[in-house]
Amino acid sequence: MDFMEYIEPWAFVIIPVLNVFGVGFKKTLKIADSLIIWLLIAIGVFLSMLWVLGASTADGGIDNLLLAAFAGITQGVLSAGVAITISQAVKQIKKGD
């Protein structure tokens, strides 16, 4: 199953942003690795929600707001998943496993 087909084209820009945040958290802050994952998911959802709500031309009804929230959360989680997977793949390649 190719889950990349579920990520909207606009959400691809979030992936490198999340990678930068992840590297920054890892190098500058003393945060547990498991917490970094949750921070990246939260930032991904936040950025996706900003994009969806900012790009929305809907009238602001509750159904449109819920649809925008669903799209933002889904795209944020998927983008964070890809960013984390890329980061782990790079680590494994460097490690030589």
Grade residue 3 by pLDDT with cuts at 50, 70 and 90: low
The DSSP annotation for 26-73 comes to HHHS---HHHHHHHHHHHHHHHHHHHHHHH--S---HHHHHHHHHHHH
Residue 87 has pLDDT above 60, yes or no: yes
Mean pLDDT throughout 39-43? 94
- Better-scored residue on pLDDT, 60 or 42: 42
Mean pLDDT throughout 21-42? 88
Interatomic CA distance for residues 21 and 37, integer angstroms:
11
